[in-house]
Amino acid sequence: MSNSVVLAYSGGLDTSVLVGWLMDQGYDVHCLYVDLGQPGEDREAMLKKALDIGAKTAVAVDVTEELCRDFAFPVLQWQARYENIYLLGTSIARPLIAKACLQRAREVGATAFVHGATGKGNDQCRFQLAAEALDPTVKIIAPWRMESFRKQFPGRTEMLAYCEQKKIPVKATTKKPYSSDENCLHISYEAGKLEDPAVDGIPVIDFGMTVSPQEAPDKETSVTIGFKSGVPVSLNGKEVSAAQMVLQLNDIAGKNGVGRIDIVENRFVGMKSRGVYESPGMTCLYAAHQSLEQLTLDRDAVHLRDRISPEVAEMVYYGFWYCAKMDALMAFINELQKPVTGEVTLGLYKGNVRVMSRTSPQSLYDEAIASMEAGGDYNQTDAEGFLRILGVPLRVQGRVRLRDY
C-alpha cells in the first residue's frame, strides 16, 4: 500500500518544516504549490527547496483564473461580506486548494492530504470540509492537531532550530511581528503584534498591495468596469480575463490606497481574532457591481438576495462550499444576475471609492417616472387610495391601543 501524501505546500516556514517532519514519519511527500496569483513569490525557488529537503515531487498548478472566475465572482454576485466587512479572500481560496490537492493525490496515488492549518483557526475547517465533500474516503493529516507534533514544535523557535538541523533554508525569524497569507484577491495579516487589538496595525505592517491613503496621489483616478450578467468582463473598455480583471484593479486601486480594513472577527471555532486585510481590486468590484444592481434588479428580488447574503458569507467563511445548499444558492444567484449588464465608472481617491456614472441596457430606472417634473406613468392622485389601504391596520390598532404621544 502506498505511503505517500500530498502536502499543500506554500514554501514558508510551516510547510517547509512539514516536508521534513512527514519524511521523519516515513511518508513519501508530494508537494503541491497551488498558484493563486500570490504577488512576489519565486515559485521555482520554492519548488527547488522542497526537492532539496527531500520531497518525492514538487510541482505547481496555476488556478488563478479559476479562483477568480468560479469562486470569487460568484461570491461577489452575492455581495457576500462576512460580518458586514470582510470580503472573504482567504476563505474563498481554501476549497480550491483542497480540490487541487485531491486531484494531485489521484495523479501520484497518494493516500492522504496534508495541510498546515494551525488547529486554532478557520482554515482547518475549510480544508477538511471541502476535501471530505469531494472525496468522502479521503484521509486527512493535520499535524497541528497532533499532540506529538505540538510537543516537538511548541513555537517558532523550535521550528527554526529544526530547519537549521535539517539545513532547510527559511527567511522567517523569531521576531516576525505578524503572519501573512496572500493570493490575488487579497493579503491578510494577523498574529504577532496584531494580536493586541489596541495596537495600530499600520506602522506594524509592510503592506503588499496598497499604499496608505495618506500617501496616495492628490488626484482622483477613474476606472470603468463592464459587467455581463453580473460578471465583470471589461476594464476601461477592454475585455479582460477574470484574473486580469482582479490583478489590474489591484494595481490601479492599490496605488490609490483603496481596500484596507482592520477588524476583530468571530472565527468558526469560537474565538475572536484580529485581522488586517487589503483587497483593492475586489473592493472596487463590489462597489461597481452593487451600483449596477441598483439600476437593473427588481426591489423584492434584490432584497431577498440581501437577506440571504450574510448566510452565504458564513458558509464561505466556515468552509461549506461543496454542499447541496450552496449549489442551490448558486443556481439562484445565476438567475438573479441575468439583467446585471452594463458599465460603471468609479472614482478612486485616497482610500475612497465613489460611483461617478452607471449605464445599462437593462436599466429599470425610468427618468420620466422618477422626475419631480410632470410626466410619466405615475399619477400622484393614485397614492391617496394606496395609502388609505396601507393604513387600514394602523388606524384600527390606533383606535384600540390609544398610544400616548
What residue numbers does the annotated binding site cover? 8-16, 86, 91, 116, 118, 122-123, 126, 179, 188, 265, 277
Q: Tell me if residue 222 is catalytic.
A: no
Taking phi over 0 as left and psi of -120 to 50 as alpha, with beta for the rest, 82 belongs to beta
Compute the distance between CA of residue 345 and CA of residue 214 in angstroms, rounded to an integer.
Answer: 23
Name the grid cell of 178: 505578524
Q: What's CA 188's distance to the chain center, in Å?
A: 10
Choose the catalytic residue: 4, 81, 104, 123.
123
Choose the catalytic residue: 4, 179, 291, 360.
179
Compute the distance between CA of residue 245 and CA of residue 268 in angstroms, rounded to an integer.
Answer: 31
Compute the distance between CA of residue 151 and CA of residue 378 in angstroms, rounded to an integer.
Answer: 74
Question: Which of these, 313, 12, 6, lies nearest to 181 by C-alpha position?
Answer: 12
Residues flagged as binding site for L-citrulline: 86, 91, 122, 126, 179, 188, 265, 277
- Contact 18/143 with Cβ under 8 angstroms? yes
Concatenated DSSP letters for 190-235?
A: ESGGGGSTTS-HHHH---SS---GGGS-SS-EEEEEEEETTEEEEE
Compute the distance between CA of residue 313 and CA of residue 123 in angstroms, rounded to an integer.
Answer: 15
Helix H segments across 319-370? 324-336, 367-370
Residue tagged 480544508 (cell numbers): 127
Question: Which of these, 35, 126, 68, 120, lies nearest to 248 by C-alpha position?
Answer: 68
Choose the catalytic residue: 14, 274, 309, 360.
14
Residues flagged as binding site for L-aspartate: 118, 122-123
Residues flagged as binding site for ATP: 8-16, 116
- Residue 386's identity, in one-letter code, is F
Hey, how many other C-beta atoms are within 10 angstroms of the C-beta on 88? 23
Buried b (16+ CB within 10 A) or exposed e, 5-33: bbbbbbbbbbbbbbbbbbbeeebbbbbbb
Question: Which of these, 61, 314, 72, lies nearest to 186 by C-alpha position?
Answer: 72
Q: Tell me if residue 123 is catalytic.
A: yes
Q: Tell me if residue 234 is catalytic.
A: no
Taking phi over 0 as left and psi of -120 to 50 as alpha, with beta for the rest, 277 belongs to beta
Choose the catalytic residue: 4, 81, 94, 104.
94
Q: Which residues are catalytic?
A: 14, 94, 123, 179
